[in-house]
Chain A
Amino acid sequence: MVEAIGKGLYGLVDGFANLHWTNGVMLVVGLVLLYLAIKKDIEPVLLVPIGFGCILVNIPLAGLMDEGGFLKIIYDSGVITEVFPLLIFVGIGAMTDFGPLMENPKIFLLGAAGQFGIFLTLALALILGFTQKESVSIGIIGACDGPTAIYVSSQYAPHLLGAISVAAYSYMSLVPIIQPPIMKLLTTKEERVINMGVVRKSVSKTTKLLFPLVVTIIGGLIAPKGLILLGTVMLGNFMRECGVVSRLTRASENEIANIVTLLLGIAIGATMNGKVFITPQTLMVLALGLVAIVLDTACGVIFGKILKVVTGGKVNPLIGAAGISAYPMSARVVQKEGQKYNKKNYLLMHAMGANTGGQVGSVLAAAVMLSILRGLGVI
């Protein structure tokens, strides 16, 4: 009898007895993520479920990530199968207007330059001792695109998924802090005040309708391994532009995107168990993620300078910084920085073009990368 009571009581303190110091640290990390989301308004839609998921998975003996556990079911259903990030992509495509990009297609090149950080960071990760697949997953943080980072890392470095996701989403929201000093460092006063004029509305509805089809077919033929990334974004955009499936478009942008975002966030948080998350590797991943975005910005601005020379001074190099996929934050940063140096300069629509080019560019860069990996026989 006494033994039974003792064992019963022990069952109530078992959780405390099994709490490892790494779980304690991650409980604090979860609380910090929630604080950043709620008080600082940093990507709350993602950081709230991630933070809460992190708290849930670091309470010992709950079994939430054991076989059959609640978080494991969500993780296996949506992350391992890659379904969650792909469904979010459909919503992203449905929300995006590629008009400013199509108005000035050479801006596509800024969308390409804005992805160079992916490949340079991949090389750096290799030098630092990460495996080839881990380096690919770390480099993709430079895509500044959460679903892309999750899609790639869940396949090729699932043990780094938590760190990569937190890095991707956190740094995306820190773009207004990360980008301006790099933009100032790499441009001259004369370049920053270049006025690019007004974006005219000169793209037909037919062109907007054919754009997602062209990108899917041509991009898919060049980089077939990444077709699923391209195809889902472009499906969403095609639904938006065709105008005859507004119910599906609205559902993709709203209900589906919201439900999947919630489940994806919880699943990512569920990978942040202290014993696997708190490693020197995690710190290196977080550092390399920052490097990736810095390199993206630098390469974008440098390419903007090249475009300025090629066009005879018509392009303001600042818009190169918007060639990343952090939409529309990066475009707003460019607008704000442009106005700092020339109050009459309205770079927003040009920067939006570069920013949407970055969205296409990030997905294409991932597709190109995966296809090269397949060609090399790594996957």
Chain B
Amino acid sequence: MKIDNWTFGFTMVVVGMGGTLLTLWILGYCMNILKKFFPYKKEEEGN
């Protein structure tokens, strides 16, 4: 698909920045879920 530079640049900026932010937000959310399911135990210290 041949697209003009203006459309290309706008798409990359909006979808690129938005996509990166959204993906990292999703990963951060997943980390919170993991921490809830696998909480830190003091017994692990020193292992």
Tell me the A residues contacting B by CB distance below 8 Å: 102, 105-109, 111-113, 115-116, 118-120, 122-123, 126-127, 132, 135-136, 139, 201-207, 210-211, 214-215, 218-219, 222-223, 357, 360-361, 364-365, 368-369, 371-372, 376-378
Structural contact, A204 and B35, CB atoms closer than 8 A: yes
A178 to B27, CA, bound (A): 30
Structural contact, B11 and A376, CB atoms closer than 8 A: yes
Contact for B12 among A123, A214, A219, CB less than 8 A: A123
Contact A207:B38 (CB < 8 A) given known A112-B21, A372-B16: yes
Interface centre among A102, A204, A211, A215 (most CB of B within 10 A): A204
Contact A201:B19 (CB < 8 A) given known A122-B13, A123-B9, A207-B35: no
Interface size on B, residues (CB 8 A): 35
In the assembled complex, which residues on chain A have CB atoms less than 8 Å from the CB atom of B35? 102, 105, 202-204, 207
A211 to B28, CA, bound (A): 10
Structural contact, A368 and B9, CB atoms closer than 8 A: no
Structural contact, A364 and B23, CB atoms closer than 8 A: yes
A122 to B27, CA, bound (A): 25
A357 to B12, CA, bound (A): 21
Flag B34-47 by CB within 8 Å of A: 1 or 0 each. Answer: 11001111001101
Structural contact, B45 and A223, CB atoms closer than 8 A: no
Q: Which residue of A lies closest to B3 (CB)?
A: A376
Shortest CB-to-CB span from B25 to chain A, Å, is 6
A368 to B12, CA, bound (A): 10
In the assembled complex, which residues on chain A have CB atoms less than 8 Å from the CB atom of B15? 368, 372
Structural contact, A364 and B28, CB atoms closer than 8 A: no
Q: List 27 A-B contacts (CB under 8 A).
A: A102-B31, A105-B29, A105-B31, A109-B21, A112-B20, A112-B21, A119-B13, A122-B16, A123-B12, A126-B5, A135-B9, A136-B12, A201-B40, A203-B35, A210-B38, A219-B23, A357-B24, A361-B24, A364-B23, A365-B16, A368-B15, A368-B23, A369-B16, A372-B11, A372-B12, A376-B3, A378-B8
Structural contact, B24 and A364, CB atoms closer than 8 A: yes
Interface centre among A113, A139, A372 (most CB of B within 10 A): A372
In the assembled complex, which residues on chain A have CB atoms less than 8 Å from the CB atom of B40? 201-204, 207
Contact A108:B44 (CB < 8 A) given known A123-B12, A123-B13, A126-B8: no
In the assembled complex, which residues on chain A have CB atoms less than 8 Å from the CB atom of B16? 118-119, 122, 365, 368-369, 372
Structural contact, A205 and B19, CB atoms closer than 8 A: no
A339 to B20, CA, bound (A): 31
Shortest CB-to-CB span from B35 to chain A, Å, is 6
In the assembled complex, which residues on chain B have CB atoms less than 8 Å from the CB atom of A139? 12
Structural contact, A112 and B25, CB atoms closer than 8 A: yes
Q: Which residue of B lies closest to A206 (CB)?
A: B38
Q: Which residue of B lies closest to A377 (CB)?
A: B1
Shortest CB-to-CB span from B41 to chain A, Å, is 7
Shortest CB-to-CB span from A259 to chain B, Å, is 32
In the assembled complex, which residues on chain A have CB atoms less than 8 Å from the CB atom of B1? 376-378
Structural contact, A360 and B38, CB atoms closer than 8 A: no
Structural contact, B24 and A109, CB atoms closer than 8 A: yes
A378 to B11, CA, bound (A): 12
Structural contact, A126 and B3, CB atoms closer than 8 A: no
Q: Which residue of A lies closest to B14 (CB)?
A: A119
Structural contact, A205 and B44, CB atoms closer than 8 A: yes
Structural contact, B13 and A108, CB atoms closer than 8 A: no
Structural contact, A211 and B26, CB atoms closer than 8 A: no
In the assembled complex, which residues on chain B have CB atoms less than 8 Å from the CB atom of A218? 23, 26-27, 30
A206 to B30, CA, bound (A): 14
Contact for A369 among B5, B12, B21, B32, CB less than 8 A: B12
